[in-house]
Every structure is written in C-alpha cells, then in structure tokens.
C-alpha cells in the first residue's frame, strides 16, 4: 500500500520542529507508516534549496528519522500577491478562496502540477495535512484516490475569532473579514471532497457533523507520549510555552506579560514568568523584558524545563483546535490556568483539573493561589494527569488513526 502525504508545513529541522503542528503531523506519519509506504509532497519557501542533491539528502534524513520507506518531493510555493496602488487588494480573495493569503501560495499551476506528478506513482490514498494542502487537490483535474484530510483547526472559526479580538490583539487589517464567506464555503467543500476528515475534539465534530451535516467527520485528539512525573516544585514559577511564528501564541504571550503578570508580580515579587519557545523576538517586550520575565527561546529538554515550573499558563485569546501544550502540561501533572478558548475541546473540567479564567485579574488571582497553595496544586495536577493518561495517550490514539485509515 502507498500513501501520498501532502503538506505545507515542512519540518526543516526535525530536532527543533516539535511544537503543536509538527507533533500532530508526526502522529499521523507514525500511524501511516505502520500500514503503507509514504510519498511526501511538501510545499516549501521559494528560497529553499530543492536541487536533486539536497532533496536526496533530506529524503535520507527523513527515512532515518521516521524509520520508514519513503520518497520525498519538494515544490516551491507560489509568490503571487494581489496589490492595488502598492496596498493589499482583498477583493480577489473575497470572491475566490484560492486567491486568499495563505492559500494562494499552494493554488498555482506549478503547485497543482507537482501534485499530479506525484500521482504517477499510483498512491492508494492521499493524506492532506491541514486546509492548505487541500488546495492543489481541489484544483487538480486528474482522478484522485481516496483522500484523508486532517483539518486540525477549523480555519473559518479561527479567522473570525482573530478579527473579533480587541485592539491591540486582533489582525491589524480588518479587511480580512472579506475573506470569511469564501473561506467557510471552501473549507466545507474540502471536507465533502475527503473520504474522512479528522478534527481535534468532540466539540468540533459536533459543529461539523451535527450542526452543518457534513459527512465523514472523525475525532482524533492531539496526543503525547506520557512522561515520567516530577515532584511539585516550591519555586514560584509560571510557564507559557509555544512557537511564536503562530500569531495566537504571540498575542497570548503579550496578554500574559502586559496584563496578567503585573498583578502576579506585585503580590509575589519573588515569582518568575518563563516564556519558552522558538522566535520570541516576535513578542512585544522581548528586547527589554519586564522584571521577573525570562525568555528562553527554543527548549530542547522539556523534562528539565517542567521540573522547575510550578504552574502552566495558557492565555490563548483566538484560534481553534486543541492545545498540545495543555495535554503536555497535564501529562507532567502541572496545575494549569487557561482561558476558555485555550482549553477548548479538552476534557479538563474547570475547578477539577484546570482553572479557566478569561480576564487578566482573575487569571492572575488563580496563578497566585496556585503559587501559594501546595494542596490545591497537587489536586489540580493529579486530576489533569488522570484525564491525559485516559484520553490523550499517544499509543491509544495511533491505534484509532490506523483503524480509520
């Protein structure tokens, strides 16, 4: 059996690319490789070296990393843009989904041709990783084998939430709201084209399958390998972790630093806030961190990081899907304070396995309470661990994926 795996998210460094999108991608790759050989088609930056020699080198690295029989094809993304008088022109995208940023980058003739070339190897199925990967599939004229589509985030919900954020956290150009009708229509069309569509939570499945009456919707939760538990630390340390190439993480970090942290630091001047993850330079305040705030950049050893952290924060204000970072924190038995959007779709009950707080002051108060109360920390952390081990263990989720494939 042979599966063609199509994605816009190429892991240029398999050591560093380990945050949410890539963890979920790896989950599906591990499931597929147990059933089939994999042909990868990745769309990459126009500056990326796709020479035959470099692709051969990367193919060898991929085969070794995944311990699988693979072939690798790379295709440059399109650089087309719509401008009018040197300003972005949103009208073409409002009328046609394939003209929207970022979907336009996978919707050109060259990108469709690369897909059709891969079809010459006669794959038995296609796995489309996220909505961008569906663009060339929806435009291809060739006959396609069955498509399995990991939607992950519901993109029209994610965009709508970003547009509704209060300044300074929403998208700066409000003209993006013109994209919403076309984006929603195309997203539903992509789901109908797939034999099965995988989403992160039962909440998303209910919306798509029951409210919108779409076929083939299957819940595949995000998952992690359960780590060894750590004893509760007395260090009054908060943690937020993410990749800051993802705008909702940037917004969350700025909200945490600018609105939540001052309340915590005023009550507990000895406390510390760690902002961990790649590309923190995107965050306001990175150049001159406020007192008590530390930016670590990419952290390779998560065990060491979690050992010195008492409370994990997830102040996400927009986006959709579910947060791998919260499953990870729960697996480490860490008490968690999150916004409701941050914990959306996860089986963590407010007051039992997590604290859900949407306003800066109440978020800060919950963090302070956990920093000062050992018994409460242990109760919340143990309850979160129980949920993670029952619902989000990677070995169980791999079996679910293989069953559906």
The yes-or-no verdict on residue 18 having pLDDT over 70 is no
Of the given ranges (79-83, 282-286, 335-339), which has the lowest mean pLDDT?
79-83
Mean pLDDT of the chain: 91
Return the half-sphere exposure (C-beta side, CA atoms, 13 A cut-off) of residue 229. 15
In a domain, 225, yes or no: no
Domain identity same for 80 and 175:
yes
The yes-or-no verdict on residue 322 having pLDDT over 80 is no
Average pLDDT over residues 102-122: 96
Domain identity same for 202 and 248:
no
Average pLDDT over residues 340-356: 92
pLDDT in tens, 32-71: 999 999 999 999 999 999 999 999 999 999 999 999 999 9
The yes-or-no verdict on residue 146 having pLDDT over 70 is yes
Angle, helices 394-404 vs 20-33, to 10°: value is: 60
pLDDT at 159: 86
pLDDT bracket for residue 168 (50, 70, 90): low
Q: Are 62 and 73 in contact (CB under 8 A)?
A: no
From the list 169, 305, 153, the residue with the least C-alpha distance to 227 is 305
pLDDT bracket for residue 194 (50, 70, 90): very high
Domain count, the chain: 2
Domain identity same for 181 and 297:
no
Domain boundary among 158, 193, 220: 220
Domain identity same for 253 and 104:
no
In a domain, 147, yes or no: yes
Domain identity same for 155 and 209:
yes
pLDDT at 83: 61
pLDDT bracket for residue 300 (50, 70, 90): confident
Domain boundary among 161, 195, 220: 220
Domain identity same for 103 and 31:
yes
The yes-or-no verdict on residue 111 having pLDDT over 70 is yes
From the list 356, 312, 358, the residue with the least C-alpha distance to 331 is 312
In a domain, 227, yes or no: no
Residues linked to residue 42 through DSSP beta bridges, in sequence order: 7, 74
pLDDT at 263: 97
Domain identity same for 211 and 268:
no
The yes-or-no verdict on residue 174 having pLDDT over 80 is no
- Find the CATH number of the domain harbouring 14: 3.40.50.2000
In a domain, 404, yes or no: no
pLDDT in tens, 307-321: 999 999 999 988 776
The yes-or-no verdict on residue 208 having pLDDT over 90 is yes
Domain identity same for 328 and 377:
yes
pLDDT at 364: 97
Domain identity same for 358 and 252:
yes
In a domain, 16, yes or no: yes
The yes-or-no verdict on residue 398 having pLDDT over 80 is yes
Q: Look at 226 and 380; give whichever has higher pLDDT.
A: 380
3-state secondary structure the chain: CEEEEEECCCCCCCCCCCCHHHHHHHHHHHHHHCCCEEEEEEEECCCCCCCHHHHHHHHHHHHHHHCCCEEEEEEECCCCCCEECCEECCHHHHHCHHHCCCHHHHCCHHHHHHHHHHHHHCCCEEEEECHHHHHHHHHCCCCCCCEEEEEECCHHHHHHHHHHCCCCCCCCCHHHHHHHHHHHHHHHHHHHHCCEEEECCHHHHHHHHHHCCCCCEEECCCCECCCCCCCCCCCCEEEEECCCCCHHHHHHHHHHHHHHHHHHHHHCCCCEEEEECCCHHHCCCCCCCCCCEEEEECCCCHHHHHHCCCEEEECCCCCCCCCHHHHHHHHCCCCEEECCCCCCCCCCCECCCEEECCCHHHHHHHHHHHHHCHHHHHHHHHHHHHHHHHHCEHHHHHHHHHHHC
The yes-or-no verdict on residue 287 having pLDDT over 80 is yes
Percent of the chain exceeding pLDDT 90 equals: 73
In a domain, 403, yes or no: no
Range of the domain at 297: 237-391
Q: Look at 300 and 249; give whichever has higher pLDDT.
A: 249
The yes-or-no verdict on residue 86 having pLDDT over 90 is no
Domain identity same for 293 and 355:
yes
In a domain, 260, yes or no: yes
Percent of the chain exceeding pLDDT 70 equals: 94
From the list 312, 342, 324, 349, the residue with the least C-alpha distance to 161 is 342
The yes-or-no verdict on residue 144 having pLDDT over 80 is yes
The yes-or-no verdict on residue 175 having pLDDT over 90 is no
Domain identity same for 68 and 198:
yes
pLDDT bracket for residue 278 (50, 70, 90): confident
Domain identity same for 159 and 276:
no
The yes-or-no verdict on residue 170 having pLDDT over 90 is no
In a domain, 245, yes or no: yes
pLDDT in tens, 231-240: 889 999 999 9
The yes-or-no verdict on residue 87 having pLDDT over 80 is no
Domain boundary among 220, 255, 276: 220
Task: Give the integer Cα–Cα distance in Å for 378 and 370.
Answer: 9
pLDDT at 173: 60
The yes-or-no verdict on residue 225 having pLDDT over 90 is no
Rounded to two decimals, what is the model's pTM?
A: 0.84
């Amino acid at each position: 059996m042979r599966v063609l795996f199509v994605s816009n998210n190429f892991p240029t460094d398999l050591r560093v690319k380990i945050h949410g999108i890539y963890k979920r991608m790896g989950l599906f790759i591990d499931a597929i490789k147990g059933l089939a050989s994999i042909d990868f088609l990745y769309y990459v930056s126009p500056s990326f070296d796709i020479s035959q020699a470099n692709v051969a080198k990367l193919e060898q690295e991929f085969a070794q990393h995944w311990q699988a029989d693979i072939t690798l094809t790379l295709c440059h993304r399109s650089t087309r843009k719509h401008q009018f008088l040197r300003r972005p022109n949103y009208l073409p995208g409002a009328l046609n989904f394939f003209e929207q940023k970022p979907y336009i980058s996978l919707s050109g003739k060259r990108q469709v041709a690369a897909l059709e070339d891969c079809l010459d190897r006669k794959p038995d199925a296609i796995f489309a990783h996220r909505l961008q990967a569906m663009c060339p599939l929806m435009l291809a004229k060739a006959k396609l084998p069955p498509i399995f589509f990991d939607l992950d985030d519901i993109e029209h919900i994610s965009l709508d939430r970003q547009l509704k954020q209060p300044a300074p956290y929403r998208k700066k150009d409000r003209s993006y709201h013109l994209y919403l009708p076309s984006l929603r229509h195309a997203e539903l069309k992509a789901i109908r084209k797939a034999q099965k569509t995988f989403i992160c939570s039962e909440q998303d499945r209910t919306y798509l399958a029951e409210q919108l009456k779409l076929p083939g919707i299957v819940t595949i939760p995000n998952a992690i390998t359960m780590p060894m538990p750590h004893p509760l630390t007395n260090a009054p340390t908060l943690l937020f972790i993410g990749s800051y190439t993802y705008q909702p993480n940037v917004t969350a970090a700025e909200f945490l630093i600018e609105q939540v942290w001052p309340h915590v630091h005023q009550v507990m001047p000895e406390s510390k806030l760690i902002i961990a993850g790649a590309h923190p330079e995107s965050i306001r305040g990175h150049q001159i961190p406020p007192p008590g705030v530390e930016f670590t950049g990419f952290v390779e050893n998560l065990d060491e990081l979690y050992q010195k952290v008492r409370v994990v924060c997830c102040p996400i204000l927009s986006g959709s899907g579910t947060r791998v970072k919260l499953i990870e924190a729960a697996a480490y038995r860490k008490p968690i304070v999150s916004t409701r959007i941050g914990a959306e779709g996860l089986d963590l009950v407010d007051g039992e396995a997590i604290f859900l707080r949407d306003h800066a002051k109440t978020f800060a108060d919950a963090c302070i309470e956990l920093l000062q109360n050992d018994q409460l920390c242990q109760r919340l952390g143990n309850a979160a661990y129980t949920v993670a081990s029952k619902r989000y263990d990677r070995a169980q989720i791999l079996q679910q994926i293989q069953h559906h494939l």
